[in-house]
Amino acid sequence: MIKKNILITGATSGLGLMLTRFFDKKNYELFITGRDKKKISQIKKTISLANKDNCFAFDFENKKNLFKFLKVIKKRKKKFDAIIHCIGGGFRKHNPLINQKDLNFLFNINVSVGAEINRMIVEDKQYKKNLKLIHIASVAGIESTASVGYSMVKSSLISYTKCLSKALISKNIFVHCLLPGAFEYENNAFGRLKINSRKVYNNFIKEKLPRKKITKGEEFLGLFEFLLTDNSNALAGSSILADFSETNSYRT
C-alpha cells in the first residue's frame, strides 16, 4: 500500500487522537494540529521521529491562530493526499436557547475552520487530483439526539460536505462525511461520561444502543483506511452513517 501524507485536525482527543496513533504506526507522514499544547507535547513523545516536527498547537477560537496555521501549511513542500477534519464538539453548550455568541463559536469550530483549511489547500495548484477531504459529523446532524447547538452545526457540516463534493468531484477531489454514533475513546465525550457519571453511561447503553454495548473507537479504523483508497470514490458526497443501528434514520 502506498503511504499517504495526511493532515489531521482535532488530533488531541477522540477520533483525531486515535487516527494519529494508528496512521503513525503504519508509517504514514502526518501533519497534525490540536488546541491543547500539553496534549500536543504528549503526542510528540509517543509518535515516530519522522512525525514529531509536524505537530502543532493552535486554538482556532482565535482567528489569528487559523491564519498562522495556514501559513505553516503553505510552507510545507509535500502535498497532502488526505485531510481528516476531526476538529469540533459541543463544548458543553447545552442550553436549548443558545445565544448568538455560543452558536457562532460552535459553527466556527465545527464548520468554518475546516472549510477555510479546505479552501486554501484546494486553491493551491498542486492539488489537482485524488485529494481526499474527510469530515467527521455526527448522527446528531440528522436526528435530534444532542444539544440544539451541536445538532445544528453538525447538520450544517453535512450540508457543506455534500455541496462541496458536487463542486469538486470534477477535479478528482473526493469529499466524504462520516456520521458516527456513540463511541468511546480516550478523552472523548463518552470516555469522560464513563468516568464522571457511570449510571448515565450505563443507562444510555441499555436504552439507546441495540448492541447493548458502546462502540470502541478502534472499530472505525477499517472504515477510515477504506475512505483513503480510490475504492471509496463512489461514496463522494455521501453522509456515511456509522452507528451500529443506534439511530432510526434510513439515511445512508
pLDDT of the chain along its 252 residues, tens only?
Answer: 567 899 999 999 999 999 999 999 999 999 999 999 999 999 999 999 999 999 999 999 999 999 999 999 988 878 899 999 999 999 999 999 999 999 999 999 999 999 999 999 998 866 656 899 999 999 999 998 899 999 999 999 999 999 999 999 999 999 999 999 999 998 888 999 999 999 999 999 999 999 999 999 999 999 999 999 999 999 999 999 999 999 987 765
Asked, for residue 54, whether it belongs to a domain, the answer is yes
Q: Say how many domains are in the chain.
A: 1
This prediction has a pTM of 0.94
Q: DSSP string of 92-115?
A: T---SS--HHHHHHHHIIIIIHHH
Asked, for residue 97, whether it belongs to a domain, the answer is yes
Asked, for residue 143, whether it belongs to a domain, the answer is yes
Asked, for residue 209, whether it belongs to a domain, the answer is no
Cα gap 194→198, rounded to integer Å = 5
Cβ distance 158 to 177 under 8 Å?
yes
Asked, for residue 61, whether it belongs to a domain, the answer is yes
CATH number, domain with residue 24 = 3.40.50.720
Asked, for residue 67, whether it belongs to a domain, the answer is yes
Asked, for residue 252, whether it belongs to a domain, the answer is no
Asked, for residue 171, whether it belongs to a domain, the answer is yes
What is the domain range of residue 37? Answer: 5-186+217-242
Q: Cell numbers 503511504 label which residue?
A: 3
Tell me the three cell numbers of residue 16: 483525531
